[in-house]
Amino acid sequence: MISKKELRARVLLIVVCFAIGCYCLYYMDKSYDPLARYPYTNDENRDIILEYLDSDDIDYLVNQHITPDKFMDFIELSDFDLKNTLYYKEAKDTQDADNEYIVNFVNRFRKNFSYESLKELLSHYSYIDLTTFYENEAVLYSNLRLVTDPTNPYTVLNQENTVYKYAPENLVSYNGVYVQSAMVDDLTNMLDAYKSVMDEQDQLSISSGYLNYEEILDLYVNASKEFSGIDNYMFSAGKNEQQLGYTIVLNGQDEWINLCKLYLNEDMDYTQVQEELSKENQNRVEWLLENAYRYGFVVRYEMGQEKKTGHWYQPFVLRYVGVKTAKAMHDSNKGMEQMTFKDELE
Give the model confidence (pLDDT) of 38-88 as tens digits. 999 898 999 999 999 999 999 999 999 999 999 999 999 999 999 999 999
**pLDDT single digits (tens) 159-188:** 999 999 999 999 999 999 999 999 999 999
pLDDT at 306 over 90: yes
CB 145 within 8 A of CB 162: yes
Single-letter code of the amino acid located at 338: Q
**pLDDT single digits (tens) 75-126:** 999 999 999 999 999 999 999 999 999 999 999 999 999 999 999 999 999 9
From the number of C-beta atoms within 10 Å of its C-beta (0-12, 13-18, 19+), residue 88 rates as buried
The mean predicted confidence, pLDDT, of the chain is 91
121 phi and psi, to 5 degrees? -60, -45
**pLDDT single digits (tens) 15-37:** 555 555 544 444 444 445 788 89
> Can you give the pTM of this predicted structure?
0.85
| Sequence-separated (6 or more) residues with CB below 8 Å from residue 138 | 112, 144, 146
Q: What does the alpha-carbon distance between residue 179 and residue 149 come to, in Å, rounded to a whole number?
A: 19
